[in-house]
Amino acid sequence: MASVFVYHVVGDLTVGKPELVEFHESETVESAIRAIGEFPEGSIPIWKKRSHVGIENSEMKQQRFVGILSSFDIVAFLAKSQCLEDQDKALKIPVSEVVVPNNSLLRVVDPATRLIDALDMMKQGVKRLLVPKSVAWKGMSKRFSVIYYGKWLKNNDSPGNSSNNLPPNLNWSPSASGTPLPDKYCCLSREDVLRFIIGCLGALAPLPLTSIAALGAINADFSFIESSAPAITATKKLPQDPSAVAVTENTSDGQFKILGEISACKLWKCDYLAAAWALANLSAGQFVMGVEDNISSRSLPEFSVDSPTGNSDLVNGGGLKKQRKFSSRSIGFLSNSGSHSFGSRSMYRGRSAPLTCKLSSSLAAVLAQMLSHRATHVWVTEDENDDVLVGVIGYTDILAAVTKPPALMIPINRSTDGFGNEIQC
């Protein structure tokens, strides 16, 4: 295991992070749409309002956390028949009726928590870390300084130091990390952790240049639906992590050919009302590939979503005001109208293209893909055929790979096909 995860603390990743602004469960779906556009991973933490006056400790803060609301959750909610019948009313519904309660998705941790312990939490399903802000570090690791010194910086004020200068998990206190700011927190996402990791790839050698197959980082337990199935079927197959469903086409030899995906990160800054209509009325293939390529424009119904939200615009976080024919481009997906086959890779354009890598792709390459596209996952395809889907790699898989002991890696001259079957390289 790389020492960089042992010698760094969570507080090192909070430098420059803005203060948390809570989004309460009493807020409307319309407000949530706007807020999601400002948060990573296409989702926002939802909180209960405070019921008491005075300073709130970490335990009280944790108890007020409700769950995480994603763009997919909102689109799936708006795609319900009762919401489609009265979209204006649906936009005014409080998010408490939409969010799935799950208090374990966020954990309040002190700034002195070792990074390796934080990674263990995230590998167990935690998606956000809430860190109290303090006036200044005192006796804590300075940003990246421990990499050069090769050991934990001594903290004479803290009795928790061990003989090797490695405190197992210091309790946060004014003497350890500066003066706490009452009720001031910042939120760390898994994307923040990945950005830290990609900034210190040298300390992780040789893992970054090792293939994801050799690292065993490919998750073959992914969700998918056939392109001919109704797009709404994706809402019944949606896993929690990553929040994505592959849209596939079966080949003659029984393999899955990936055409696109329906996911929170693809719907992150889409036209939510248009996407909801499409999810309820189109096939999965039409949803991800572009309805104009497969249906005559004369057969498309009028799509009316007049909204009394003033000058706000729900496209990329605002409200629709005009009456128009439905277009898959209004979802935010682009397509090539010159092709008419679901199986044609040439149709992929812009946001409609699924983000893919190969079995032989290196961990560093996948990291760069995810961060540059701000994606929560990458679909894995065969080396010889970049259409054939074999698995997916997400945040949890990467965190498990970078903290895995070298002895547990698959031998370098062999790899797997994503289903656990070894193949010769």
Tens of pLDDT, residue by residue over 279-337, are 999 999 989 876 544 444 334 444 444 443 443 455 454 444 444 445 555 565 543 33
Higher per-residue pLDDT: 51 or 365:
365
Query: pLDDT band for position 33 (50/70/90)?
Result: very high
Backbone φ/ψ region at 125: left (φ over 0), alpha (ψ -120 to 50), beta: left
Across the range 177-190, mean pLDDT stands at 74
- Top-confidence residue, 186 or 182: 186
- The pLDDT score that the predictor gives to residue 148 is 34
- Please, which pLDDT band fits residue 417 given cuts at 50, 70 and 90? low
Q: What is the pLDDT of residue 51?
A: 85
- At residue 393, the pLDDT reads 97
Burial of 180 (0-12, 13-18, 19+ CB in 10 A): middle
Residue of higher predicted confidence among 173 and 314: 314
| pLDDT at 81 (0 to 100) | 95
Query: Alpha-carbon distance 307 to 322, whole Å?
Result: 9
User: What's the CA gap between 120 and 399, in Å, rounded?
Assistant: 8
Check whether 134 has a pLDDT greater than 80. Answer: no
In this structure, how many other beta carbons lie within 10 angstroms of the beta carbon of residue 169? 15
Q: Per-residue pLDDT for 157 more than 90?
A: no
Between these two residues, 377 and 404, which has the higher pLDDT value? 377
Alpha-carbon torsion (347, 353, 358, 362), positive or negative: positive
pLDDT tier for residue 339 given thresholds of 50, 70 and 90: very low
Q: Residue 424: is its pLDDT beyond 70?
A: no
pLDDT value of position 258: 93
- 72-77 average pLDDT score: 95
Q: Is the pLDDT of residue 176 over 60?
A: no
Give the lowest-confidence range in 4-13, 167-176, 277-286, 352-361.
Answer: 167-176
Angle, vertex CA 144, rays to CA 141 and CA 150, nearest 5 = 75
Is the pLDDT confidence value at 268 over 60?
Answer: yes
C-alpha distances in angstroms, 38 versus 85, 98, 154?
A: 29, 19, 38
The average confidence (pLDDT) of the chain is 77
pLDDT of 269 reads: 82
How sure is the predictor about 408, in pLDDT bands with cuts at 50, 70 and 90?
low
Residue pair 156/148 in contact by the 8 Å Cβ criterion: no
| 328 vs 376, higher pLDDT | 376
Q: Which range has the top average pLDDT, 6-20, 67-81, 251-265?
A: 67-81
Q: Which amino acid is at 355?
A: L
In this predicted structure, the answer to whether residue 374 has a pLDDT above a threshold of 50 is yes
